[in-house]
Structures are given as structure tokens and as C-alpha cells.
Amino acid sequence: MIQGLHQPTHRSWIDQALAHLDTVLLDHAQCERKAAGVALSLINRYPS
């Protein structure tokens, strides 16, 4: 189980994630990039 989650994480999910770690990391990087873009957009839209 991954610590910090409210529900147990099945070992099969962990095994699949580790088997395709490059895909998992690429997806995570794309999500982080999108979040950064939204943050910059909000900064420009609502300057202090």
C-alpha cells in the first residue's frame, strides 16, 4: 500500500506502474506542465 492514501493500493496496480514507469512519468510531467501553464495564466489574469 502506498502510504498517505485513504484506500489500499493493489499490488497489481503498482506492478503495472513499475512495468511502464516511463509512461507514468511522461504523463505526470505533462500534467505538471499543464498546471504550470494554468498558474501562469492566472498570474497574468489577476495581477496584484
14-28 pLDDT tens trace? 999 999 999 999 999
Residue 22's pLDDT is what? 98
* Residue 44 in grid coordinates: 497574468
Phi, psi of 2 (to 5 degrees): -75, 125
For residue 38, pLDDT beyond 90: yes
pTM, two decimals, is 0.70
